[in-house]
A = this chain, B = another copy of it.
Amino acid sequence: MTDRYELTMIDAAMQAGTAFRPSVFEAFGRRLSGGRRYGVVAGTGRLLDRIEQFSFTDAQLKFLREGNVVSPEALDYLADYKFTGRIRGYAEGEPYFPGSPLLTVEGTFAECVVLETVILSILNYDSAVATAASRMVTAAGTRPVAEMGSRRTGEESAVAAARAAYIAGFTNTSNLEAGIRWGIPTMGTAAHSFTLLHDSEEDAFRAQIDALGVGTTLLVDTYDTARGVDLAVKVAGTELGGVRLDSGDLPIMAARTREQLDALGAKNTLITVTSDLDEHAIAGLAASPVDAYGVGTSVVTGSGTPASGMVYKLVAREGDEGWKSVAKASENKASHGGEKLAVRTLEDGVAVEETIFMGDPTKDDAADASRGRGLQVDLVRGGAIADEYRGAAGVAKAREHRKNAVAELPIVAHRLRPGDPAIPTVFR
């Protein structure tokens, strides 16, 4: 989980006597990729586990030694590596905006820089999924949305995606491992292969109902959807739990299927749709008689924005002349150095500004800060990790937090069209 340059930088800095300068790194996004109106921070709980486990095995040290990647002195340092610093950051589930100081990592240069890749991998991917998922949840209104995209992303990313989507308000997931690791409710219907396995669609429906009861959801579009619906009600009766449509023009198919189910007396049988949905398709089905959505590819790939574009930068460090704020100055990528205090400024309970106080806040600043909600929480102190943000409890907390914090955003935040962030970020 480390890029080679992190280790060679530590090596070079050790030789130059600068490796253990107290330093502050910050993870932030310069913009909201894809013209999103807001982002949703996700991955924090996973990241805390990774930081706790972060160390170098004998096999890894051997690889570094035999490949002459770093000097013996640097190898000794890495062999004993353990993060002992402090990490503050936005709570998991928190909306964020360009320049929001999402994670502030304090420690020696060496212990902070080596975490760069793992911090960014997790925050960039998980937040991309949560950001897309949050738009889908809003577009779905009161209808439930299931995450079914495991097969469209790397096999470990699949578990992370299920987790991030659930934090962003999805109802459940098809991914069983996400159920085991993070306590997320799991669901499932059946695949076309199950119908094709049997000698007839009727045999397949009967087999599924015998095993799972009439409350199950039958996939009715393997051969002909209208005949599939007829058959489903014939086999299961009017108490059939649901039917799933996975192909065709969904608004038309949903309307026809609802009419057909009602005519057959299956008025309580729900319609789930699952074919290549994203937030726009979900919004387009708002007036259709759909009861639940299943989303695959688009949620696990961030709906066109598969990486959030966050970066991890040194913003302050102690040198021979004491603490110094630092920032890269090259074109198009100006950064704000120094430590920051982040506040979501509210008016009548509605967010109006992401306010970032730089350096030591003044008395006026403190008065301004009191008009909003402080956004940073302690995640790691002296190497000890705050347990409340971890495990299944951390996921549940993050899901609740996202719900409440998104409710604070102005209505423009929910526009699906690409555009400006819902509130401005102001550095004070």
Instruction: List the B side residues contacting A160 at CB < 8 Å.
Output: 154
A308 to chain B, nearest CB (A): 9
Contact B329 A194 (CB under 8 A): no
Q: What's the least CB distance linking A123 to chain B, in Å? A: 9
For A120, the chain B residues whose CB sits under 8 A away are: 151-152
Contact residue among B174, B306, B312, B317 (Cβ-Cβ distance under 8 Å from A5)? B174
List 16 A–B pairs whose Cβ atoms lie within 8 Å, in order of A's numbering: A4-B175, A12-B190, A12-B194, A16-B207, A18-B197, A50-B155, A63-B179, A67-B179, A116-B151, A122-B154, A124-B152, A125-B153, A153-B306, A155-B156, A196-B327, A301-B306
A 236-252 contacts with B by CB, 8 A: 246-248
Judge if A263 is at the interface, Cβ distance under 8 Å: no
Give me the interface of A with B, judged by CB distance under 8 Å.
1-9, 11-13, 15-16, 18, 21, 23, 25, 50, 59-60, 63-64, 67, 69, 71, 109, 113, 116-118, 120-122, 124-126, 148, 150-158, 160, 174-177, 179-180, 186-199, 203, 206-208, 210-212, 221-225, 246-248, 297, 300-302, 306-307, 309, 312-314, 317, 319-321, 326-333
CB of A422, distance to nearest CB on chain B (Å): 24
Interface-centre pick from A196, A225, A307, A327 (highest chain B CB count, 10 A):
A196
Q: Tell me whether A196 and B314 are in contact (CB under 8 A).
A: yes
Q: Known: A18-B197, A191-B9, A196-B328. Contact between A156 and B157, CB under 8 A?
A: yes
Partner of A117, one of B2, B9, B158, B333: B158
Residues of B with C-beta under 8 A to A155: 1, 50, 117-118, 121-122, 125, 156
